[in-house]
Amino acid sequence: MKAIKLRLIIMNFLQFAVWGSYLTSMGGYLFSEGYGDSIGWFYAMQGVVSIFMPAIMGIIADKWIPAQRLLGICHGLAAIFIAGAGYFAQSDLITPMFILYSLSVAFYMPTLALSNSVAYTSLEQGGYDTVKAFPPIRVFGTVGFIVAMLICDFAGFQANYMQFYQCALIGICLALYTMALPHCPVSKAQGDKSLMQRLGLDAFKLFKSKQMALFFIFSMLLGVSLQITNGFANGFITSFKNLPEFANTFGANHANALISLSQVSETLCILLIPFFLKRFGIKRVMLIAMFAWVLRFGLFGLGNPGSGLWMFILSMIVYGVAFDFFNISGSLYVNENTSGEMRSSAQGLFMIMTNGIGATVGTLGAQAVVNRFVPAAVETADKVVTNGQAIAEGWSDTWLIFAGYALVVALLFWVLFKYKHDPNKVADIKH
């Protein structure tokens, strides 16, 4: 393996290890500390900053600061802020914790695009075909995410503030490591793009087309599902410890390890996308993703970490289909159905509708449903009283509501979205 590829593999591994340190476990931690009603705001903040921060940092990288240097600066600042969040979490001060966490994700979210930019530029400088060379490198990002999840779990961090310190430590390591990455010169040509173009706002003219308008609306509706399990799955699975029959089960005590199967599935499902797109077309592939979301939520609602463990495992397996088939096929549809000068803005709009507006509305909406159906522990003068059975039943109702929502979206998409599949358009799809 060439040195440049190895350097990019390490970068991608650390890039997603930072995120994996807390993304799937923070919800469970907040639940355990009595902040269950705030989970939606923590995860929604990722969607809020995703609307504008990547665009701003993209302009800075294009005009003034080389991408690899800006990547290091962003990771350094994100690490400092998340460490600060951990410090205030240790002191049970939720407000300063949330503020510092928000600042951390504001600087972390742009690094998802910056790390891709560094990888593409470095590979091109090395004479590699990015279409062929990048996917095997990117897979190590998912591996890093999984490893960080497992470290957080088996080190005992998933139920306490130490997950933030783990995230900060990896972030500092990556910030320092960026000094070993190839130089990425600024691009004045790309830097000439306006903020409106970077944000994808000029692509709103695509709403003049009924088909594109429907596509973006359904992208937002499906984007509602994206962060729900990240925010609430850990707390849900861990809550089974309140029931004597499940208190000692592996799943109830190691939720992160169980959830990591979702990321394994995601890695494998990426390889299936070209075949499915060529065989069934984008509309059917997106329908498969939508019905996979129905299964994802429904199996959570019906399963348990004991006799129903197989339902949890199946839910983790279908996650790869639900997540990857929607995101990648949707991006491809946008790419195919927009002109060259509008393509980047259209992709930006797709991200705004899904990871921005959709994910933000979804996490806040999910929070409202959880607050309505899942009873909280009751604090008395001398102890905390937990009704494990009521909590389990509340969670079951909650996940089935989410499944019902995904089913309605899928059926409406099936009826309303018209698309004629042309196998020749996707004959050369690679990812």
Residue 170 is predicted with a pLDDT of 98
Q: What is the mean pLDDT of the chain?
A: 86
Phi, psi of 417 (to 5 degrees): -85, 120
Residues 164 and 290 in one domain: no
Domain that holds residue 398: 197-431
The distance of Cα 181 from the centroid of its chain, to the nearest Å, equals 25
Residue range 153-170: mean pLDDT, rounded: 95
Check which CATH number belongs to the domain holding 127 and give it: 1.20.1250.20
Looking at residues 136-162, what average pLDDT do you find?
92
**Is 166's pLDDT higher than 50?**
yes
Q: Is residue 322 part of a domain?
A: yes
**Is 275 in the same domain as 395?**
yes
Residue 190 located in a structural domain: no
Q: Last residue of some domain: 125, 152, 180? A: 180
Domain boundary among 117, 146, 180: 180
Phi, psi of 303, rounded to the nearest 5 degrees: -90, 180
**Whether residues 39 and 143 fall in one domain:** yes
Q: Is residue 129 part of a domain?
A: yes
The answer to the question of residue 387 being in a domain is yes
In a shared domain, residues 109 and 249 = no
pLDDT tens for each residue of 378-411: 444 454 446 778 888 999 999 999 999 999 999 9
Asked if residue 208 and residue 288 are part of one domain, the reply reads: yes
pLDDT one-digit tens code per residue, 298-316: 999 999 999 999 999 999 9
Pair 144, 209 in one domain:
no
On whether both 169 and 43 belong to a single domain, the answer is: yes
Last residue of one domain, picked from the residues 127, 155, 180: 180
Number of H helices, E strands in the chain: 18, 2
- Cα angle, residue 37 at apex, residues 350 and 309 outer, rounded to 5°: 80
Mean pLDDT of 32-42: 89
Give the H/E segment covering residue 313: helix 309-336
Are residue 287 and residue 153 in the same domain, yes or no? Answer: no
- 110 and 243 housed in the same domain: no
- Within a domain: 353: yes
Residue 186 has pLDDT above 80, yes or no: no
Q: Are residues 127 and 264 in the same domain?
A: no
Q: Is residue 37 part of a domain?
A: yes
Q: How much is the pTM?
A: 0.86
187 in any annotated domain:
no
The angle subtended at Cα 196 by Cα 192 and Cα 201, nearest 5°, is 140
Please give the DSSP secondary-structure letter assigned to residue 357. I
Would you state the pLDDT for residue 13?
97
For residue 49, being part of any structural domain is answered with yes
Q: Let me know whether 36 and 167 are in one domain.
A: yes
101 and 216 co-located in one domain? no
| Domain count across the chain | 2
- How big is the chain by its Cα radius of gyration, in Å? 21
